[in-house]
């Protein structure tokens, strides 16, 4: 269980599933993306948990890592395909989940492909099964729908306070021979685009999400204060400018602090990721726990 507790995982999973169901209703035309992210995170906190990372609200060709900044005025556009991706920390457990909402009704193929690929992956995972078998199942399911998997985004092992714990589950076969073991916790997330898509994502130059990376020297006094705050509140988990703004209140100070810490490689940045040809992306994600005879998708509800 990698320092997580099964009872806590089950409980955190149930809470995550409940919040996900409510979050789905937030993805409507004209809704502020800021409000959606804040509502998800506030609900998590109201339930006595903590966000495991800033809630991602990624629209259309954006695959992941879009979280609003403190003064983000953008709204959900008409006919959008919206990915809500969030996770929480409760007790000794971390979850990671996502749902896609198709407001146009025109993306049935990528929606079904991602959903079914996830379902088939969950049916396949059990102790002794190599990760590559799961990649094959995901790939074949997506292909059957005439869609493309995103080749450079992957599912991942989750350990306590480590959301991306080394082992990855690619959405195309990649000879990953790690065998699932009882107690392993993984996030499975088939990202799917259309057959016209490039089938991979590119980093954009927009960054909102960061995490601690390496220890290093920070010169500016105000940046040091910020770093202390990050270490105390987020440890190794991702955070965003919007969260820091609630504490430090100055955009100018935040920007110079983040810039200095990035330059010193004290922080790592997670740029917003977009489909390389601008095609829409669907993504459904569940956190699973490997059991004696299969796995439990704890965040499914
Ligand atoms: Mn996720
Ligand atoms: Mn994930």
- Unique residue bearing structure tokens 């190794």: 236
Q: How far is CA 266 from the centre of its chain?
A: 22
Cα(227) to centroid of ligand 1, in Å? 25
Separation CA 170–CA 154 (nearest Å): 5
Q: How far is the CA of 257 from the centre of ligand 2 (A)?
A: 28
Fold matches, 6-202+277-297 and 204-273: no
E-only strand ranges, 213-280: 239-240, 267-275
Q: Which ligand is nearest to the CA of 164?
A: 2
Longest dimension (CA), the chain: 56
Q: 204-273: which CATH topology? A: Arc Repressor Mutant, subunit A (1.10.10)
Residue ranges covered by each domain of the chain: 6-202+277-297, 204-273
Average pLDDT for the chain:
96
Structure confidence by residue, pLDDT tens digits, 259-286 = 999 999 999 999 999 999 999 999 999 9
Q: How far is the CA of 219 from the centre of ligand 2 (A)?
A: 34
Tens of pLDDT, residue by residue over 72-92, are 999 999 999 999 999 999 999
- Where residue 61 falls among pLDDT bands split at 50, 70, 90? very high
The domain 6-202+277-297 is placed in CATH, from the list 3.40.50.970, 3.90.230.10, 3.40.50.10070, 3.10.129.10, at 3.90.230.10
**Which ligand approaches the C-alpha of residue 157 most closely?**
2
Please give the share of the chain, as a percent, with pLDDT higher than 70. 100
Return the closest-CA partner of residue 282 out of 70, 27, 72: 27
Question: Distance (Å, rounded) from C-alpha 298 to C-alpha 132?
Answer: 22
With vertex at residue 149, the alpha carbon angle to CA 144 and CA 153, rounded to the nearest 5 degrees, is 155
Q: How far is the CA of 81 from the centre of ligand 2 (A)?
A: 19
**Each residue of 114-155: pLDDT tens digit?**
999 999 999 999 999 999 999 999 999 999 999 999 999 999
Distance 71 CA to ligand 1 centre (A): 24
Catalytic site residues? Answer: 85, 96, 156, 164, 189, 285
Ligand nearest to the CA of 64: 1
- Burial of 75 (C-beta count, 10 Å sphere; 0-12/13-18/19+): middle
Q: Per residue in 211-262, pLDDT tens?
A: 999 888 898 899 999 999 999 999 889 999 999 999 999 999 999 999 999 9
Q: How many CB atoms within 10 Å of residue 7? A: 11
Distance CA 164, CA 168 (A): 8
């Amino acid at each position: 269980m990698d320092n997580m507790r099964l009872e806590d995982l089950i409980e955190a999973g149930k809470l995550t599933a409940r919040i996900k169901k409510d979050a789905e209703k937030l993805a409507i035309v004209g809704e502020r993306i800021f409000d959606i992210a804040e509502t998800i995170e506030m609900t998590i906190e109201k339930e006595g948990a903590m966000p495991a990372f800033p809630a991602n609200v990624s629209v259309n060709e954006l695959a992941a890592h879009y979280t609003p900044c403190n003064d983000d005025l953008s709204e959900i556009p008409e006919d959008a395909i919206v990915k809500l991706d969030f996770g929480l920390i409760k007790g000794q457990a971390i979850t990671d989940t996502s749902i896609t909402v198709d407001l146009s009704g025109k993306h049935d193929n990528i929606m079904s492909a991602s959903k079914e690929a996830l379902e088939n992956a969950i049916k396949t995972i059990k102790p002794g099964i190599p990760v590559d078998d799961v990649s094959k199942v995901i790939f074949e399911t997506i292909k059957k729908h005439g869609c493309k998997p995103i080749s450079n985004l992957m599912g991942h092992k989750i350990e306590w306070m480590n959301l991306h714990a080394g082992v990855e589950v690619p959405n195309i076969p990649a000879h990953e021979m790690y065998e699932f073991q009882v107690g392993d916790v993984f996030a499975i997330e088939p990202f799917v685009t259309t057959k016209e898509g490039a089938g991979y994502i590119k980093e954009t130059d927009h960054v909102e999400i960061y995490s601690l990376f390496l220890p290093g020297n920070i010169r500016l006094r105000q940046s040091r204060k910020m770093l202390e705050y990050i270490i105390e509140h987020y440890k190794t988990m991702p955070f965003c400018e919007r969260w820091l703004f609630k504490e430090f209140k100055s955009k100018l100070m935040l920007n110079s602090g983040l810039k200095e810490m990035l330059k010193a490689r004290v922080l790592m940045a997670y740029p917003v990721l977009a489909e390389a040809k601008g095609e829409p992306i669907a993504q459904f994600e569940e956190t699973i726990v490997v059991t004696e005879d299969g796995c439990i998708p704890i965040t499914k509800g």
